C-alpha cells in the first residue's frame, strides 16, 4: 500500500489536545482535513506526523512549539488605553478583534487582559507555546 509522501494530497481526520487533555480541535464530526504534503499548509509537526502513513493507519503525534505555532512572542502583545477601542465593542477576555495595520492589512488579536484603564491585546496564535498531541487517521491519499 502507498505511503504518504511530499507532493501527495491527503485527507486526514484528527483530534488535537493539550497535555492536560483539553481538546482544542477535531475533524471527527466534519469532513477530513485535506492538504498537500510539502506545501506548508499545516504546521510542520502535523505534516511530519502524516508523512509515511498509509490509508487507514492511526498515529499519535506530539508536536512541540518549535514544530507547531512557535513560542509565545512578547513583542506581539501590546497594552492600549481602553478609550482606543471603539465604545460599541463589548470587551471581555478571550474576545478576538481585527486591528487595521498601516499597510491596509489586518492583524487578529485576542483580548488577554482587561481593567478599567487598559486592554492588553495579544497577536500570538492561541496555541503558541503549547505542546499539541494529535490523534491522526489517514483517510486517503488522493
Instruction: Please provide residue 46's backbone torsions phi and psi, each rounded to the nearest 5 degrees.
Output: -65, -45
Same domain for 64 and 33: yes
110: left (phi over 0), alpha (psi -120 to 50) or beta: beta
Residue 1 lies in a domain: no
| Full residue range of the structural domain in which residue 107 is found | 74-122
Q: What is the pLDDT of residues 68-87, one digit of tens each?
A: 999 999 999 999 999 999 99
E strand or H helix at 36 = strand 33-36
Q: What is the pLDDT of residues 92-125, one digit of tens each?
A: 999 999 988 899 999 899 999 999 899 999 999 9
Q: How do strand 96-100 and strand 106-114 relate by DSSP bridges?
A: antiparallel
Same domain for 84 and 66: no
Same domain for 13 and 62: yes
Q: What is the pLDDT of residues 8-37, one digit of tens each?
A: 999 999 999 999 999 999 999 999 999 999
Same domain for 56 and 16: yes
Amino acid at each position: 500500500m502507498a505511503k504518504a509522501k511530499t507532493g501527495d494530497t491527503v485527507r486526514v481526520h484528527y483530534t488535537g489536545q493539550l497535555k492536560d487533555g483539553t481538546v482544542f480541535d477535531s475533524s471527527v464530526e466534519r469532513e477530513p482535513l485535506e492538504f498537500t504534503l510539502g506545501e506548508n499548509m499545516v504546521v510542520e509537526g502535523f505534516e511530519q506526523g502524516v508523512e509515511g502513513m498509509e490509508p487507514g493507519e492511526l498515529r499519535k503525534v506530539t508536536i512541540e512549539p518549535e514544530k507547531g505555532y512557535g513560542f509565545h512572542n512578547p513583542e506581539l502583545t501590546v497594552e492600549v488605553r481602553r478609550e482606543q477601542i471603539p465604545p460599541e465593542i463589548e470587551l471581555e477576555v478571550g474576545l478576538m478583534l481585527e486591528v487595521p495595520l498601516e499597510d491596509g492589512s489586518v492583524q487578529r488579536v485576542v483580548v488577554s487582559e482587561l481593567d478599567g484603564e487598559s486592554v492588553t491585546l495579544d497577536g500570538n496564535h492561541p496555541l503558541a507555546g503549547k505542546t499539541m498531541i494529535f490523534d491522526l487517521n489517514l483517510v486517503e491519499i488522493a
